[in-house]
Chain A
């Protein structure tokens, strides 16, 4: 069984400020972790993923996330927010590649970027 908790349904930052979106997971097997972004009226787009190997992973648009097993976390960060980053962000977990390892999503965090 697996689950994802995203802390904060809404996050507001100023343009140029640090973006930090929090994600904690629970998984009975080594997790694969993902962040997706959803722009208004669009489908989800994969931002970055962690499967194995390096725990700091980089994604598109300057985002990165660090897998911390001891903290069961996979927080998403970006050093400097841009207006175009305003969107909803979903953390997701799967237990690997088996057919039983379906993707489980968090409830999402809406990021607002202000001037």
Chain B
């Protein structure tokens, strides 16, 4: 499928388990982002990547790990899930030539941590 996809779309896990959320884009965009969306907070940036093998922290990085070995993939791992990480997670991407604000979003992953 063209565009940006996320998997799984829904995930239920238990406290303490490791969870990986996948993000894949077909546009070869340089930049990729992970956000979490929570009621009353809007979207908050977790991590971003400017290119393969280059990642940096966003506003709320604690408890998350990312990697980017290939331009098209940007997985997000919760090493030991906590209830506070229950949220909807969005992956996004943009070209290096666009402004920071012109991002394309995936459909989201709804994660529930019991």
Could you list which residues of chain A lie within 8 angstroms of chain B, going by C-beta atoms?
Answer: 32-34, 36, 41-46, 49, 51, 90, 92-94, 96-99, 101-103, 105-108
Contacts A99-B50, A102-B48, A102-B58; is A44 near B100 (CB within 8 Å)? no
A97 CA to B42 CA, complexed, in Å: 22
User: Which residue on B lies nearest to A91, using beta carbons?
Assistant: B42
The interface-forming segment of B13-21, B65-73, B104-112 is: B104-112
11 sample A-B contacts, Cβ–Cβ < 8 Å, listed by A number: A32-B99, A34-B102, A36-B105, A42-B108, A43-B108, A44-B103, A44-B105, A45-B105, A46-B101, A102-B45, A103-B101
User: Which residue on A lies nearest to B40, using beta carbons?
Assistant: A107
**Total A-B pairs, Cβ < 8 A:** 63
Q: How far, in Å, is A39 (CB) from chain B's closest CB?
A: 10
Task: Give the residues in chain B near A105, CB-CB below 8 Å.
Answer: 42-44
Q: How far, in Å, is A80 (CB) from chain B's closest CB?
A: 27
Most central of B40, B58, B101, B103 by chain A CB within 10 Å? B101
Inter-chain contact B108/A90, CB cutoff 8 Å: no
B34 on the A face (CB < 8 A): no
Q: How far, in Å, is B48 (CB) from chain A's closest CB?
A: 7
Inter-chain contact B42/A43, CB cutoff 8 Å: no
- Going nearest first, the 9 A-B pairs with the smallest beta carbon separation are A43-B105, A105-B42, A34-B101, A94-B100, A44-B105, A107-B42, A105-B43, A94-B101, A43-B107
Task: Give the residues in chain B near A36, CB-CB below 8 Å.
Answer: 105
Inter-chain contact A107/B100, CB cutoff 8 Å: no
Task: Give the residues in chain B near A94, CB-CB below 8 Å.
Answer: 99-101
Contacts A90-B42, A108-B42; is A42 near B107 (CB within 8 Å)? yes
B74 on the A face (CB < 8 A): no
A35 CA to B48 CA, complexed, in Å: 21
